[in-house]
C-alpha cells in the first residue's frame, strides 16, 4: 500500500518534469542560441585587447576588467543608471497605476483616454528626440517661453550638466508610463467582478475599494512592474543616445551608451565587451536581489 503510493507520486513527478521540459524546450533553445551564446562570446572577448575588426587579437587576461573596476566613467554611468532606475519607479509606476485605476472605474466610456494616453509609447525615438530637442531649446523653446510668462529667464535643460539627466528621465517617463498603465489594466482584469460587486453592496466607496481591496490584489503586478522598470532602466539606451549622446560631459552617460561607443565607435571592442559583461553582472545582481527581497515573504 505504502510502497505503491510512493511510486505513484514518483511517477507523477516524472510526468510533471517531462511535460515541463516539453513546454519549456522552444524557449530554452531560442535563448541558448540568441542570448546565451552572445553572452559567453562577450565574456571571452573581454579577455582580449581587440579593435573589433582585425583578425589579430591580443590576449590580455583580466586587464580589461581591472581597468573597468577603476574606470570612474563606468561608475558614473552606473550611478546615472541607478538614478534613472529609482526615479523611473517612483514616477512611472504610480502614474501608470493611477491611469489604470481611472480607466477601470470609468469603464468603456473612457476608451478615448486610453488611446490618447498610449500614444507616447508608439512614437519613435527619432520623433521624440527631434520634438523635445526643439521644445527644450534654451531660447524660444516651450519651457523657456513658459518660464518667461512668469518672469523667469531662459532655462537650459539639456545643456546643463545638473539638469540634463533629470530632463531626460522625465521624457523617458513620458514615453513609458503608458506601458505600466496597460500592465495594470491587465492586472485589474484579474480581480473578479464579484469582488467589486460585493464591495459595492457593502457600501464601500470607490476610494475604499481601491485602497482596501484592489491595491492589495494588485501588489503582485506592482512588484513585477518594479522589476521590469528596474531592468529596463539599467540597460536603457535609446533616447539618451539620440538626444544627448551621453553629454554634456558625462552628465547623462549610461552603461549602455558607454559600451556602445567603446565597442563600435572607438575601436575598443575588448574593453566594450568588459563593460557589457559588467553591465550584465550588475543588472542581474540588482534584479535578483530585489526579487528575493520583495518576493521573499510571499513565496512558500
Q: How far is the CB of 210 from other proteins (least distance, A)?
A: 11
- Alpha-carbon Rg for the chain, nearest whole angstrom, is 25
Q: How far is the CB of 61 from other proteins (least distance, A)?
A: 14
Distance (Å, whole) CA 100 – CA 94: 10
Q: How far is the CB of 208 from other proteins (least distance, A)?
A: 10
Residue 42 contacts residue 277 (beta carbons within 8 Å)? yes
Residues in the chain: 300
Task: Tell me the backbone φ, ψ of residue 145, rounded to 5 degrees.
Answer: -65, -45
Closest CA to 104 of 180, 198, 189: 189
Of 86 and 120, nearer to other proteins (C-beta) is 120
Of 18 and 90, nearer to other proteins (C-beta) is 18
Of 82 and 261, nearer to other proteins (C-beta) is 261
Of 90 and 208, nearer to other proteins (C-beta) is 208
Of 20 and 90, nearer to other proteins (C-beta) is 20
Q: How far is the CB of 193 from other proteins (least distance, A)?
A: 4
Task: Give the number of other CB atoms < 10 A from CB of residue 67.
Answer: 15
Provide the grid cell at 67: 581597468
Residue 120 contacts residue 174 (beta carbons within 8 Å)? yes
Q: How far is the CB of 1 from other proteins (least distance, A)?
A: 22
Q: How far is the CB of 138 from other proteins (least distance, A)?
A: 3
Q: How far is the CB of 257 from other proteins (least distance, A)?
A: 10
Residue 223 contacts residue 295 (beta carbons within 8 Å)? yes
Amino acid at each position: 500500500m505504502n510502497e505503491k503510493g510512493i511510486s505513484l507520486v514518483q511517477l507523477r513527478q516524472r510526468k510533471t518534469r517531462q511535460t515541463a521540459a516539453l513546454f519549456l524546450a522552444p524557449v530554452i533553445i531560442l535563448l541558448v542560441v540568441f542570448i546565451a551564446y552572445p553572452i559567453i562570446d562577450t565574456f571571452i572577448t573581454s579577455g582580449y585587447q581587440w579593435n573589433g575588426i582585425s583578425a589579430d587579437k591580443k590576449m590580455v587576461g583580466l586587464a580589461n576588467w581591472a581597468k573597468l573596476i577603476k574606470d570612474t566613467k563606468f561608475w558614473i554611468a552606473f550611478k546615472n543608471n541607478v538614478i534613472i532606475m529609482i526615479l523611473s519607479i517612483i514616477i512611472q509606476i504610480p502614474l501608470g497605476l493611477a491611469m489604470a485605476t481611472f480607466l477601470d472605474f470609468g469603464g468603456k466610456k473612457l476608451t478615448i483616454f486610453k488611446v490618447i494616453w498610449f500614444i507616447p509609447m508608439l512614437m519613435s525615438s527619432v520623433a521624440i528626440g527631434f520634438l523635445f530637442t526643439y521644445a527644450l531649446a534654451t531660447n524660444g523653446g516651450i519651457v523657456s517661453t513658459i518660464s518667461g510668462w512668469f518672469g523667469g529667464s531662459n532655462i537650459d535643460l539639456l545643456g546643463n550638466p545638473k539638469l540634463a539627466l533629470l530632463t531626460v528621465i522625465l521624457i523617458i517617463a513620458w514615453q513609458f508610463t503608458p506601458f505600466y498603465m496597460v500592465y495594470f489594466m491587465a492586472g485589474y482584469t484579474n480581480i473578479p467582478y464579484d469582488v467589486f460587486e460585493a464591495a459595492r453592496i457593502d457600501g464601500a466607496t470607490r476610494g475604499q475599494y481601491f485602497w482596501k481591496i484592489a491595491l492589495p490584489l494588485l501588489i503582485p503586478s506592482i512588484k513585477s512592474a518594479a522589476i521590469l522598470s528596474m531592468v529596463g532602466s539599467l540597460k536603457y539606451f535609446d533616447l539618451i543616445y539620440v538626444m544627448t549622446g551621453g553629454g554634456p560631459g558625462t552628465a547623462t552617460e549610461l552603461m549602455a551608451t558607454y559600451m556602445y561607443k567603446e565597442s563600435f565607435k572607438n575601436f575598443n571592442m575588448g574593453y566594450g565587451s568588459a563593460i557589457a559583461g559588467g553591465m550584465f553582472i550588475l543588472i542581474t545582481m540588482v534584479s535578483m536581489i530585489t526579487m528575493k527581497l520583495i518576493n521573499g515573504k510571499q513565496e512558500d
